[in-house]
Amino acid sequence: MSIHFNEQKKIFKLDSKGVSYVFKIYQEGFLAHLYFGAYIPDDNLPDFERRPVYASFSPQPASVEPYTFSPDTCPMEIGCNGGADLRIASIQIRNADGNAVTDMRYVSHKICSGKPALPGLPALYANTPDECETLEITMRDQVTGAECVLLYTVFERHPAITRSVIIRNASNKPMLIERAMSFCMDTNGCDYELISLYGRHMQERDFERRPLAHGTQGIGSRRGSSGHAQNPFIALISKGGNEDSGEAYGFNLVYSCNFKAEIEVDYNNTARVIMGINYDDFGWNLAPGEEFYTPEAVLVYSAEGLGGMSRAFHRLYNENLVRGEWKHKKRPLLVNNWEGTGMEFDDDKLYAIAAWAKETGIEMFVMDDGWFGRRDDDTSSLGDWKVNERKLKGGVGALVKRVKALGLKFGIWYEPEMISPDSDLYRAHPDWAIHVPNRECSVGRQQLVIDMTRKDVRDYLFDIMSEVLANNDIDYLKWDFNRNISEAGSALLPAERQKEFYHRYILGTYELMDRITKAYPHLLVEGCSGGGGRFDPGILYFSPQIWCSDNTDALSRVDIQFGTSLCYPASAQGAHVSASPRASYETKRNVALWGSFGYELDPAKISEEARNEIKAQIADYHKYYDLIHYGDLYRIICPWDDPYNCAWMFVDEDKTQALAIYLIKFKKERRGLFLRLKGLDPAKYYRWEETGEVFSGALLMNAGISLFRMPNEDGYSKTFFFTMV
Ligand code: GLA
């Protein structure tokens, strides 16, 4: 890992583990991109004479030698709006004269060890100052006095680079930021395919792949949330690349609100990638002396296809994103009552689930929605975070004590960012709901969103949540978010600041998450949004696991987990066995093991046989925990390649243990009779636990395990566990 500046050539060379990123200070202080890819030891890269330095109709600054250079044809580190670079811009600042021409040129730089925090924003962090190095480049628009500081961090142990931008008003006039993308990167060529994760409620993060085309393409969210529809993740893979081969570039935004990722392939066949806050309906007023921080983007490179890229993200997030006590502590095996009881429960019913859980070997009971206000269905009470004594006699405390007396941990559900029109809170403070003047508010799930831009709202939420959290021995909090935002506006923001609303909203949410997690550091927080509607690195920074989807049918959930795994580690995805009928308990377990495992049911509503089966599953959860949470994931047969079968496996860091899972979603004549494993040491030997047979790693990976005698049935699944001999 290093950041090196070649004074003579004016070249910056940034090296993370196995990766180099190179750019230079070019003519007139423009920052030109040279390379991002596998590690190269030297910076002697072909310069711009090998590139189209100029093209007809591409403007050039008057100061440069005619026909020698245009920012429009040069790969750039920042895309400035309105000047001679006519491709999609990454930065656009409207100045006091009313135009939005933005022209950033190099001024200075500094290199420091470690990684600075981004105020108010979640971001990756350095565990020790020597595992990261950061480059800060200051650029300035000489006409307006706007400045951009480009931040680049490299990592000792990961093939990743993080990027973000600080925009500063170093003038004496106000400015309006209209576009503040977290990075701009121009690839050398456009022979890539774009991968993104699309979806909806109950079907999050489906894999989609398309060739890059000339023009602009991309994904984004305008939902006030990262959302179910698109994840803030894209990858570019070289044409023909797959799980194991090809160059894969992954881009992930550490942000939980409106985002955009765009790629423009220009007439020089360069693909410009930009990603950041969605600039639709965004604006940020910057007074003289003020600064604005963009969210951070994570860039990962792998020469080993999508599999290599995913494993790099997983290790990086487990080590440098997830924080707090639960980062490495074993997460408790839980049962949640939601799918079992809905909101129809009382303390005795919940206690009965907890008692069964204890007897079964489960470690934590989680009480979901319906414990507060007058909440018997979704028509009321969000915001009234006071216990419903009719349901829980003696309050939350009495139930916590009973459950704790069993020797279980206790978890609770909140949806802090919401307010029901039918709530005491709304009747007292109608202004606290997000709204715009003279317009009806659209409802979603019969609820409104509370205005998290307001400090009084956040203080109320902190205090009322603390009444429960501070006075009871609570171990876990599920933080839900069950609708998207419409009619976005805040009663407290002046008209010219309403465009700041969405970003202020998420900053407010992050602030409350920060306060809660700091005040109650023992809490394990699980993020949630109607399942996985806010499954992003921003939330992961505050909650080490996120409920992956409300879809707990193992045969479709497995697709969601495959998609999620493109970028997020197994430890991040909450995955539960429910009573959903389509698959056996064995298959449900095999799918849910790929995550932060738990159960989601009412034992009184399932058969005795099922209860016995669950009891027998618990030992395996413990046995495979470390391997799954911290091992390397290899996708063997992916749902996007084969709609009928899928297979995946985990290998520990030393390659001494491996667990493979094969699942038949829908029966069809088998196309292959062997499951070829991945990630083992070819020169070592492994014992198959089931039969005691010993095979070389080379055999298991090249010839594979025979599937010949396995049943070919819908929903059949099987695990294969190997240990090195
Ligand atoms: C969301 C969550 C569920 C459950 C319900 C409660 O849909 O994803 O797990 O908590 O809310 O209303």
Name residue 165's beta-bridge partners.
150
Per-residue pLDDT, 49: 53
DSSP annotation string for 533-548: TT-SHHHHHH-SEEE-
How far apart CA 227 and CA 702 sit, in angstroms, is 40
CA of 531, closest atom in ligand 1: 8
Per-residue pLDDT, 527: 98
DSSP annotation string for 349-376: HHHHHHHHHHHHT--EEEE-S-SBTT-S
Q: Residues of 345-356 as b/e, b for ≥16 C-beta within 10 angstroms?
A: bebeebbebbbb
Q: Which protein residue's CA is at the shortest distance from atom 1 of ligand 1?
A: 530
Task: Choose among 299, 278, 274: nearest CA to 183.
Answer: 274
Which distant-in-sequence residues (6+ apart) come within 8 Å of 43 by Cβ?
4, 6, 9, 11, 13, 22
Q: Determine the distance separating the centroid of ligand 1 and the alpha carbon of 171, expressed in angstroms.
A: 48
Q: Determine the distance separating the centroid of ligand 1 and the alpha carbon of 335, expressed in angstroms.
A: 14
Residues comprising the chain, all counted:
725
- For residue 697, report the phi and psi dihedrals to the nearest 5 degrees: -60, -40
| Opening angle at CA 483, ends 482 and 487, nearest 5 | 155
* Torsion of Cα atoms, 453 then 456 then 459 then 465, to 10°: -90
Q: Which protein residue's CA is at the shortest distance from atom 11 of ligand 1?
A: 530
- pLDDT tens for 650-660 read 999 999 999 99
How far apart CA 337 and CA 329 sit, in angstroms, is 24
Please give the span between the terminal C-alpha atoms of the chain, in angstroms, as a whole number. 35
For the record, the structure tokens of 41 come out as: 């030891």
Per-residue pLDDT, 170: 98
Per-residue pLDDT, 51: 63
- pLDDT tens for 28-63 read 999 999 999 999 999 988 765 546 677 889 999 999
How far apart CA 64 and CA 58 sit, in angstroms, is 13
| Opening angle at CA 548, ends 667 and 523, nearest 5 | 145
- pLDDT tens for 546-590 read 999 999 999 999 999 999 999 999 999 999 999 999 999 999 999
Burial of 609 (0-12, 13-18, 19+ CB in 10 A): exposed
| Opening angle at CA 262, ends 221 and 434, nearest 5 | 20
102 — pLDDT class (breaks 50, 70, 90): very high
Task: Choose among 349, 379, 394: nearest CA to 367.
Answer: 349
709 — pLDDT class (breaks 50, 70, 90): confident
Q: Determine the distance separating the centroid of ligand 1 and the alpha carbon of 573, expressed in angstroms.
A: 15
How far apart CA 442 and CA 327 sit, in angstroms, is 39
- pLDDT tens for 168-194 read 999 999 999 999 999 999 998 899 999
Residue 125 has pLDDT above 90, yes or no: yes
Q: Does residue 368 carry a catalytic annotation?
A: no
* Torsion of Cα atoms, 355 then 357 then 360 then 363, to 10°: -120
Task: Choose among 166, 159, 178: nearest CA to 140.
Answer: 166
CA 444 to chain centre: 24
DSSP 131: G
Q: Which protein residue's CA is at the shortest distance from atom 2 of ligand 1?
A: 530
If one counts every other C-beta atom within 10 angstroms of the C-beta of residue 533, the result is: 28
CA of 529, closest atom in ligand 1: 8
Name the 3-class secondary structure at 276. strand
522 — pLDDT class (breaks 50, 70, 90): very high
Which residue among 418, 420, 446, 528 has the greatest number of ligand 1 atoms within 8 angstroms of its CB, and so is best to mutate? 528
What H or E segment, with its residue span, contains residue 418?
A: strand 418-419
Annotated catalytic residue within 550, 559, 632, 652: 550
Amino acid at 159: P
Contact 319, 161 (CB under 8 A): no
444 — pLDDT class (breaks 50, 70, 90): very high
Q: What percent of the chain has pLDDT over 90?
A: 95
DSSP 387: B
Q: Determine the distance separating the centroid of ligand 1 and the alpha carbon of 52, expressed in angstroms.
A: 54
CA 470 to chain centre: 29
DSSP 331: P
How far apart CA 283 and CA 273 sit, in angstroms, is 21
Per-residue pLDDT, 318: 98
Pairing of strands 271-277, 175-186: antiparallel
- For residue 235, report the phi and psi dihedrals to the nearest 5 degrees: -135, 150
Per-residue pLDDT, 377: 97
Q: Does residue 376 carry a catalytic annotation?
A: no
Burial of 607 (0-12, 13-18, 19+ CB in 10 A): exposed
Per the listing, tokens 């003696």 go with 394
Per-residue pLDDT, 189: 87
CA of 550, closest atom in ligand 1: 8
Residues within 6 Å of ligand 1 by CB: 338, 368-369, 413, 480, 482, 528, 530-531, 547, 550
How far apart CA 344 and CA 376 sit, in angstroms, is 7
Q: Determine the distance separating the centroid of ligand 1 and the alpha carbon of 354, expressed in angstroms.
A: 19
Q: Which of 68-72, 454-458, 592-596 has the lowest mean pLDDT?
A: 68-72
For the record, the structure tokens of 605 come out as: 């509503």
Annotated catalytic residue within 369, 480, 559, 632: 480
How far apart CA 382 and CA 378 sit, in angstroms, is 9
- For residue 25, report the phi and psi dihedrals to the nearest 5 degrees: -85, 110
- For residue 118, report the phi and psi dihedrals to the nearest 5 degrees: -105, 115
CA 167 → CA 103, 138, 151, 181, 431, distances in Å?
13, 10, 11, 11, 32
Q: Determine the distance separating the centroid of ligand 1 and the alpha carbon of 254, expressed in angstroms.
A: 24
CA 268 → CA 71, 215, 263, 470, 635, distances in Å?
12, 11, 14, 60, 36
708 — pLDDT class (breaks 50, 70, 90): confident
Q: Determine the distance separating the centroid of ligand 1 and the alpha carbon of 463, expressed in angstroms.
A: 23
Give the residue ranges of DSSP H helices in 361-479: 395-405, 424-428, 455-469
Task: Choose among 12, 14, 16: nearest CA to 24.
Answer: 12
Task: Choose among 556, 629, 560: nearest CA to 595.
Answer: 629
Per the listing, tokens 């600064």 go with 291
Name residue 271's beta-bridge partners.
265
Which residue among 335, 367, 480 has the greatest number of ligand 1 atoms within 8 angstroms of its CB, and so is best to mutate? 480
Which residue among 203, 550, 596 has the greatest number of ligand 1 atoms within 8 angstroms of its CB, and so is best to mutate? 550
Q: Is the dihedral of CA 593, 542, 443, 383 positive or negative?
A: positive
How far apart CA 575 and CA 557 sit, in angstroms, is 9
Per-residue pLDDT, 15: 98
- pLDDT tens for 258-313 read 999 999 999 989 999 999 999 999 999 999 999 999 999 999 999 999 999 999 99
Contact 205, 563 (CB under 8 A): yes
Q: Which protein residue's CA is at the shortest distance from atom 7 of ligand 1?
A: 530
Query: What value does the mean pLDDT take over residues 73-85?
Result: 96
Per-residue pLDDT, 67: 86
369 — pLDDT class (breaks 50, 70, 90): very high
Furthest CA-CA distance within the chain: 83
How far apart CA 661 and CA 654 sit, in angstroms, is 20
Pairing of strands 524-527, 476-479: parallel
